[in-house]
Amino acid sequence: MRYSVVCLLLVAALGAPLPGNAAEPALRAGAVAKKINPPLGGEIIGGFLPIPAKEIHDDLHARCLVLDDGDTKVALVVCDLLGINRTVSQEARRQIEEKTGIPASHVMISATHTHSATSALGDRFDYQAPLDEYQRFVADQIAAGVAEAHEQLRPAELAFGTAEAPEHVFNRRWFMRPGTVPTNPFGSNADRVKMNPPAGSANLVEPAGPTDPTISFLAVREPGGEPIGLFAAYSLHYVGGVGSGHVSADYYGMFCDSLTRLMQAEKQEPAFVPMMANGTSGDINNINFREPRPRKEPYEQMRYVADDCAARVHEALQDLEYRRDLTLEAQYREPKLAFRHPDAELRQWAEKLLAEPVEESRRANLPRIYAERTLGMAKYPKTGEVPLQLLRIGDVCIGTMPTEVFCEIGLEFKERSPIKPAFLVSLAHGYLGYLPTPRQHRLGGYETWLGTNRLETTASDKMLDQLVEMAEKVKTGR
């Protein structure tokens, strides 16, 4: 008996749980970045007219972070791509579950929306098409990265923080003086707002929506020691300004490089892996339309934005409180929503236009492009599954949508989520076009055009309601 008592006292002194007592959650984490550079010659798809990739200016990555609370594991992956097809996420998550045991529902995979990458979307208008060679490569690299991060799991602590960077975000949809909004590609004058109007124009009235200046982030480090990873989200579409034919991760990748330098972690082993996800930037960009900036050299503005955001996050890191005693939870759903389809009149317009001879031009022929997209949308099914995901990481709630989400939707999620702090990540588990609110649909403009927008006009309300319901379920355990 005396021997047993001494052993129990010794175990308690060493910090191990006594028999019959539940162990406190003890976080572990691992992070890995895998290159996903495309072969040269493929089409860079950031603009209406694709151009061949001639040079890798800076590497594209799938950045992977795995968290384990001792009972539940989650993985967060951010890919330097314009978007990913749903099938890429499905294949990557299938492999991850097979290799690591992390449930597919607990793996979040999103794209940054760099406009300087070749396509991992496959056929945009066949969202269930088999994977092509590059898509399979991306899926394999994501799975390999998560598996390696899982192998690196080690004791960790986590903190949530925010930094404000309002100078870089501008709503790109503008009300214009009456009669100055151009006719849209369908030959209609129904649009009340213009996307990317001429900067400095006297015809500008006011932006059609808000901005969100907040960089939300999770910082993960070894207890009191070396950084492991950082997951950030910022509602800025992209910056652009690259060399002709250059492949680039845009400011998202440069932010990661800059933060690594600021943290003096360039030579750290295992490597520190920061990542910047796209928040809710469907109607946000880096152009000050009231006061246009002078023209800059390639990559100059991109580096400015990336370095400034990294500096602000680095400063915010100094005042955070880290925790090991946190738990993880995930919810995943695929509700069915309706796809938009052209009516008979619009289909007839598209077919007639595409039957006409086309003249060679270096400029995008928007009516023809949207005629092709109109017929592409005609092939869509009536409804489709739309992947939605919600992660709870300690006290923090992260929701996802597979679209280019308008800023006001992200702000509403932050307000309505029963778990706070909360933020949204766009372009996760698929690419289903832009997601305006019903009000923005009524205003028209590029982001609402058929082909740019694919889901029913009330989709944002339905998706947001689903995410709030998922958060409530996580919070209450019911």
Q: Give per-residue pLDDT as tens, 245-259.
A: 999 999 999 999 999
Please tell me the predicted confidence (pLDDT) of residue 19: 39
**What number of other Cβ atoms are within 10 A of residue 243's Cβ?**
14
* Cα 408 to Cα 389: distance, rounded to the nearest angstrom: 19
Low-confidence ranges of the chain (pLDDT < 70): 1-25, 124-125, 127, 478
Please tell me the predicted confidence (pLDDT) of residue 446: 98
Question: Whole-model pTM above 0.85?
Answer: yes
Please tell me the predicted confidence (pLDDT) of residue 12: 38
Please tell me the predicted confidence (pLDDT) of residue 364: 87
CA angle, residues 388, 390, 394, in degrees to nearest 5: 170
Please tell me the predicted confidence (pLDDT) of residue 127: 66
Please tell me the predicted confidence (pLDDT) of residue 3: 39
Q: Give per-residue pLDDT as tens, 262-313.
A: 999 999 999 999 999 999 999 999 999 999 999 999 999 999 999 999 999 9
Please tell me the predicted confidence (pLDDT) of residue 15: 39
Cα atoms in the Cβ-side hemisphere of radius 13 Å centred on 141: 20
Please tell me the predicted confidence (pLDDT) of residue 363: 84
Tell me the Ramachandran region of residue 121: left when phi exceeds 0, alpha when psi lies from -120 to 50, beta otherwise. Answer: alpha
Please tell me the predicted confidence (pLDDT) of residue 21: 40
- Of 172, 182, 167, the C-alpha closest to 207 is 172
